[in-house]
Amino acid sequence: MASSTPTHYCINPTKPYPSSQSPLQKPPKTTPKLLAASPSPSLSSSFTGSSTAAASSSSSPHVPQPRSSPLLGPEFRRARTTRVISKRNTNSPKPPNPSCRAASPAARDCLAVMSRTAADSPALTTALRSFQPRLSVPEDYCSILHDLGDRDKCPSKAAEVFHFSMTLTRNMTEKGKLLTAAISSLGKMGFHELAREVFDTGLREGYGNTVYAFSALISAYARNGMSSEAVAVFESMKARGLRPNNVSYNAVIDACGKGGTDPMISMGLFREMLWNGLRPDRKTFNSLLAGFSRVGHFDHARMLFDEMIFSGIGRDIYTYNTFIDVVCKSGNMELAVQVVSLMPANGVRPNVVTYSTVIDGYSKLGRFDEALNLFEEMKSLGIQFDRVCYNTLLSIYMKTGRYQEIARVCNELEMLAIEKDTFTYNSLINGYGKQGRFDVVSCLMQEMRQRKVPPSVLTYSTLIDIYSKAGMYGDAANVFLEFHESGLKPDVVLYSSFIDTLSKNGLVDFAVCFLNDMMKMGIKPNVVTYNAVIDAFGKSRISVEEDGVRQDSGGREGCGNQILKAFGQLAKGIGAPVADETRTSEEMLCILDLFQKMIQQGVKPNVVTFSAILNACSRCNSFEDASLFSEQLCLFDNFIYGVTHGLLMGYRDVWIQARSLFDELRRMDRPTSSAFYNALTDVLWHFEQRLGAQKVVLEGVQRQVWENTCSEFSLDLHLMSSGAAQAMVHAWLLRIRSIVFSGCKLPEFVSILTGWGKHSKVAGSSTLRRVIEALLNTIGAPFQLERFNMGRFVSPGAVVSAWLMESGTINILLLHDKRSQQAIPVNLLPRLHSLQL
DNA sequence: TTAGGGTTAG
C-alpha cells in the first residue's frame, strides 16, 4: 500500500550513493535455508524499512554494495538475457485475480458456461441470451471479458461477448467501458492485432478516444513484448489531447521493460510522470525495477529498491521477487538468500516465485545441490509447486542427467493435472536430444501435437540444433522445412545455431555469409552469434569449390533455400582443409572485421568473447600479431585489457586488479569461468609468461574453477587447456617436492590424469595427453603412460621422490616469465585506476 | 498496470 504523502523521489543513477561494507565476505558454507538465514547486524539495518510504511530517517535501508568491478557490467557476466523478453505465446496464463473485480453470481455462472462451451458454437449466443436478464450492463460483461482474458485463449468467445453486450449499451460511456475490457481481454490472450482492430473500431465510431482504451491497448502491447508499438500508442494519446494517467504511464513503462528497451527510457517516462504532477505508485516502481532486473543492472535496481522505502512507497512481494531476481543474475546468491530471509520481518512472505527465482539462480551457476535443497525447503513450508516451478525442477534434473527423477516429475504433473507447456517440452526435447535419445524426442513431439501444445521458434531451433550436433543433417533439414511451413519467423537463436553448425564443420566463410544474410533479413546477431564465428576461426577450415553450398542469394526466400542446400552438402561432406600457413593472416583480418561489426551494432562482448579473443591470441605466431587482437580488448573493455596486457607484460602491480577479475569470475558457472582461465593461461604460456600462467592457474585452483583438479598425489588435468595443464604440472611437482623434502614418504604410485583436454581451444593442442607427455619428457620427469589407460601417466612414488631430490630438478621445475617488470607504465594507469576496488 | 521457467557461443 503506497503512502499517501511520498516525501521525495530521488532517482538519479549517477548520484553518489552511500555504500556499506558487504557482510558477505565469507559466504555461509551451510545449506541455504531461505527463511532460516539470520542476517548479519549490518545487513539487517539495511532492511529495516517496512514494506508498507516509509523508513525512519535514522535508518539506512540500502543493500550492500556488490563486490564487482565498476567496469564489469552485466554483459561481461552474461547476466543480460539474450532471450526474447516477452512471454507471448507461453501458453501459461496467470490465474484470475478475483480481488480486482467483483463479478455478480450470474456473471460467474455465465463465465463458467462460456468456458465449457466450444468456440464458435451457437451455444455461446444461447448462453448469453439466457443470462442476459441477470447481467448488468456493462459491469458484468466487462467482468466476463476480463476473466476470459485471464483463463481462456479463445478470442472468438471474447468477440462474441463484446458484440452481444454492445447491442445492450445505452450510451457512449458504456460502449467505451466494454471496448476497454475487450482490448484488455484480447491483449491477455496474446491477440494484440485483434486488440488493435477493436481499438481502431472504437476510435472510428467515437467511443474509443479515452485514456482507458488507450491504456488498455498499451497494456496489450506490453504483454506481448511490443514496446515500440506501446510507446507509439502512448504518444498518440497525448497527441489527441488525452492526459495519460498512472495506469497509462505504468503500462508504457511495463511495456518498455518487457520489450527490452533501455531502462533509461523508462526512467525518462518516470520523470515525465513527475513533471505532469502524477504520483508514481508501487507498480510504477516495480515495473522500473523489473526493467533494470531484466538487463541485470544491479546497481540501478538497488537504488530503486532503496528508494521505495525512502519515498514511502513500500515494498511488496513483486518488489522483493524482482529485486531477488536481479541479485541472482549478479551471481551473488548469498545476498539473494539474505534478502529472502528478511522478507517476513518486513511483512512479506516468500512465495513460489521467490523460491523459483533463487532456485534458478543456483541452477544457472551450476550449484544444483543447493537448488534441490530449496525444493525440499519449499515442501517443508507447504509452498505449492506451480508449472514454472516444476519446469525449473525438470530443467535441473535434465542438466544433472537424473532421468528417473524426470519421469517421476512428469507423472506427478499428470496426477496434479498440471499440463506441460511449450517451456516444458522444449526443455525435455533439448535434454533428451543432447543425450542422443532421439526416440524420446520423437515421442515428445508427437505428444505435443496430440495435446495441441504449440511449438515455438525455440522448439524448432532446439530440434535443428540437436539434430545438427548429432550430424543428422537430413532430420535437421526436415525440421527446418516444417518450421518454414509453420509461418513462424526465424530468430537470432535459430540462425546462431545454424551458423555454429557451419562454423564447427569448417565452413567459416559460409557462416560469415549467413551472418550477413540474417542482418539483411532484419535479425540482429547477438553476442552468441559472434562468439560462435570468432571461435570457429580456431578450428580446421574447409575451402569449398564453386559448386559447393553457396551462391549469393540475397532475399528472404533464397536464404531458406541456402540453409537447405547447406544441410544437404553437410550430409554429403564437402571441401578440403585449408593449409595452415594460409590461415593465420586471413583469420586475423576476418576476426578484426567481426569486432568492427560488433562495435557498429552495439553488440557487447561477454566473458566468452574475451576467451575467444585470448584463444585467437594464442594462435598467433608473434607477440605483435597477438597485440593486434589484445588491443581489440581495449576497444571493448579497459578492465580486461588492462589485466591481460599487464599479465602479458609482466607488470607485478597488475595482480591486485587480476584478483578482482578472478573474484568476478567466481560469480559465474564453472564451465564459463574455467574457459576463461584456460584461455588466459594458454596465452600467457604461449608467450612465455610461464610463472604468470602458473600464478593464474593457482588462483583458479584456489577458487575451485576446475572440478577435482588436485588431490595430493593424483593430478587431474582433464578440464584444463594445454597451457593451464603444463603450468599446473610444474606447480604440483613442486608441491610434491616440498613434501619429499619435509621427510614424508610418497605413496606407492603418483599419477597425472590428462583426459582429452576438452576445454582447450588452441589449434593443434586438442590432445592434452601428447602435450603433457612432451612436457614430462622435456623436464625428465619419470612418468609413463599407464598400460590400460592412455590418459594417465603414473610413476612409483620412490622413483619420483628420487628424481625430485636430484639437485638439478628444482631449476627445471621453477618457471620464469620472459617479461618481468615492476611497475605499470604511466600510460596504462588511467585504464587501471578505476579498477581499484 | 507489477515477480520466477525453456534455446544458440565456451
Residue A58 has pLDDT above 50, yes or no: no
Q: Tell me the nt nearest to A504, Cα to C1'.
A: B9
Q: Are A196 and A230 in contact (CB under 8 A)?
A: no
DSSP A67: S
Dist. CA A606–CA A680, nearest whole Å: 15
From A20-34, A232-246, A801-815, the region with the lowest mean pLDDT: A20-34
> Can you give the distance from the CA of residue A662 to the C1' of nucleotide B8 in angstroms?
26
pLDDT one-digit tens code per residue, A356-397: 999 999 999 999 999 999 999 999 999 999 999 999 999 999
pLDDT on residue A76: 74
pLDDT on residue A116: 86
> Can you give the distance from the CA of residue A322 to the C1' of nucleotide B2 in angstroms?
9
> Can you give the distance from the CA of residue A497 to the C1' of nucleotide B9 in angstroms?
9
> Can you give the distance from the CA of residue A710 to the C1' of nucleotide B2 in angstroms?
48
pLDDT on residue A299: 93
> Can you give the distance from the CA of residue A764 to the C1' of nucleotide B6 in angstroms?
36
DSSP A716: E
Give the strands of the sheet with A749-753, arranged side by side: A710-711, A714-716, A749-753, A789-796, A784-786
**CA quadruple A569, A506, A488, A153: dihedral sign:** positive
DSSP A828: G
A710-711/A749-753 β-pairing: unpaired
Q: Tell me the nt nearest to A95, Cα to C1'.
A: B3
| Strand B, nucleotides covered by protein (CB < 7 Å) | 1-10
A576-577/A789-796 β-pairing: unpaired
**What phi and psi values does residue A711 have, to the nearest 5 degrees?**
-105, 175
pLDDT on residue A72: 67
Q: What is the arithmetic mean of pLDDT over A214-225? A: 93
Q: What is the arithmetic mean of pLDDT over A805-834? A: 78
Amino acid at A726: Q
Q: What is the arithmetic mean of pLDDT over A751-759? A: 71
Residue closest to sugar C1' of B5 by CA: A388
Residue A579 has pLDDT above 80, yes or no: no
Closest by Cα among A77, A76, A75, A47 to A62 = A47
If one compares A550 and A171, the residue with the highest pLDDT of the two is A171
Q: What is the arithmetic mean of pLDDT over A149-170? A: 89
Distances from the Cα of A82 to the Cαs of A10, A173, A294, A395, A793, in angstroms? 31, 44, 10, 18, 43
Dist. CA A225–CA A23, nearest whole Å: 38
> Can you give the distance from the CA of residue A458 to the C1' of nucleotide B7 in angstroms?
6
Q: A715: part of which helix (H) or strand (E)?
A: strand A714-716
Residue closest to sugar C1' of B6 by CA: A423
Q: Tell me the nt nearest to A223, Cα to C1'.
A: B1
pLDDT on residue A625: 86
Please report, rounded to a whole number, the percentage of residues in chain A having pLDDT higher than 90.
Answer: 60
> Can you give the distance from the CA of residue A139 to the C1' of nucleotide B1 in angstroms?
20
pLDDT on residue A746: 94
Q: Which of A24-33, A144-153, A280-289 has the highest mean pLDDT?
A: A280-289
| DSSP labels, A366-393 | T-HHHHHHHHHHHHHHTPPP-HHHHHHH
> Can you give the distance from the CA of residue A327 to the C1' of nucleotide B1 in angstroms?
24
> Can you give the distance from the CA of residue A668 to the C1' of nucleotide B9 in angstroms?
15
Residue closest to sugar C1' of B2 by CA: A283
Closest by Cα among A43, A41, A60 to A310 = A60
Cβ count within 10 A of residue A67: 18
Q: Tell me the nt nearest to A503, Cα to C1'.
A: B9
Q: Tell me the nt nearest to A250, Cα to C1'.
A: B1
Q: What is the arithmetic mean of pLDDT over A163-192? A: 93
**E strands of A566-650, at which residues?**
576-577
Residue A619 has pLDDT above 80, yes or no: yes
Dist. CA A728–CA A575, nearest whole Å: 39
Cis upstream peptide for A41 (omega within 30°): no
Dist. CA A578–CA A543, nearest whole Å: 6
pLDDT on residue A539: 74
Residue A205: pLDDT band (50, 70, 90) is: very high
Q: Tell me the nt nearest to A180, Cα to C1'.
A: B1
Amino acid at A113: V
> Can you give the distance from the CA of residue A476 to the C1' of nucleotide B9 in angstroms?
20
Query: Which 3 state secondary structure label does DSSP give A577?
Result: strand
pLDDT on residue A677: 97
Residue A650 has pLDDT above 90, yes or no: yes
Q: What is the arithmetic mean of pLDDT over A594-619? A: 89
**E strands of A75-156, at which residues?**
none
Q: Tell me the nt nearest to A251, Cα to C1'.
A: B1
> Can you give the distance from the CA of residue A432 to the C1' of nucleotide B6 in angstroms?
13
Q: Tell me the nt nearest to A100, Cα to C1'.
A: B1
Q: Which three cell numbers stand for residue A426?
A: 522444449
- Looking at every residue in chain A, the average pLDDT score rounds to 83
Q: Which three cell numbers stand for residue A575?
A: 571441401
pLDDT one-digit tens code per residue, A286-303: 999 999 999 999 999 999
C-alpha A87 chain-centroid distance: 15
Q: Tell me the nt nearest to A355, Cα to C1'.
A: B4
Residue A46: pLDDT band (50, 70, 90) is: very low
C-alpha A113 chain-centroid distance: 42
> Can you give the distance from the CA of residue A398 to the C1' of nucleotide B2 in angstroms?
31
Q: How many CA atoms lie within 13 A of A473 on its CB side?
A: 16
Q: Tell me the nt nearest to A218, Cα to C1'.
A: B1
C-alpha A314 chain-centroid distance: 29
Residue A35 has pLDDT above 70, yes or no: no
pLDDT on residue A7: 35
pLDDT on residue A580: 58
> Can you give the distance from the CA of residue A292 to the C1' of nucleotide B1 in angstroms?
17
Angle between helices A211-223 and A246-258 (to 10 degrees): 20
Dist. CA A350–CA A358, nearest whole Å: 11
Dist. CA A599–CA A635, nearest whole Å: 9
Residue A96 has pLDDT above 90, yes or no: no
pLDDT on residue A566: 83
Q: What is the 3-state secondary structure (H, E, C) of A722-789?
A: HHHHHHHHHHHHHHHHHHHHCCCCCCCEEEEECCCCCCCCCCCCCCHHHHHHHHHHHHCCCCEEECCE
Dist. CA A735–CA A352, nearest whole Å: 49
Residue closest to sugar C1' of B3 by CA: A318
> Can you give the distance from the CA of residue A385 to the C1' of nucleotide B4 in angstroms?
12
pLDDT on residue A49: 43
Q: Which three cell numbers stand for residue A224?
A: 506481448
Q: Tell me the nt nearest to A465, Cα to C1'.
A: B8
A749-753/A714-716 β-pairing: parallel
> Can you give the distance from the CA of residue A314 to the C1' of nucleotide B2 in angstroms?
13
Helices (H) and strands (E) in chain A, counts: 40, 7
Residue A826 has pLDDT above 90, yes or no: no
Cβ count within 10 A of residue A349: 12
Counting every residue written for chain A, the total comes to 837
Query: Which 3 state secondary structure label does DSSP give A12?
Result: coil
Q: What is the 3-state secondary structure (H, E, C) of A504-562?
A: HCCCHHHHHHHHHHHHHCCCCCCHHHHHHHHHHCCCCCEECCCCCCCCCCCCHHHHHHH
Q: Are A496 and A82 in contact (CB under 8 A)?
A: no
Dist. CA A73–CA A606, nearest whole Å: 9
Residue A568: pLDDT band (50, 70, 90) is: confident
DSSP A133: G
Q: Tell me the nt nearest to A320, Cα to C1'.
A: B3
Residue A748 has pLDDT above 90, yes or no: yes
pLDDT one-digit tens code per residue, A541-554: 676 655 555 554 44
pLDDT one-digit tens code per residue, A438-484: 999 999 999 999 999 999 999 999 999 999 999 999 999 999 999 99
> Can you give the distance from the CA of residue A803 to the C1' of nucleotide B5 in angstroms?
56
SS3 content of chain A, % helix, strand, coil (to 5): 60, 5, 35
Residue A808: pLDDT band (50, 70, 90) is: very high
Residue A38 has pLDDT above 50, yes or no: no
> Can you give the distance from the CA of residue A611 to the C1' of nucleotide B4 in angstroms?
31
Q: What is the arithmetic mean of pLDDT over A681-710? A: 93
Dist. CA A791–CA A102, nearest whole Å: 71
Residue A317 has pLDDT above 70, yes or no: yes
Q: Tell me the nt nearest to A532, Cα to C1'.
A: B9
**What phi and psi values does residue A623 have, to the nearest 5 degrees?**
-65, -35
Residue A834: pLDDT band (50, 70, 90) is: very low
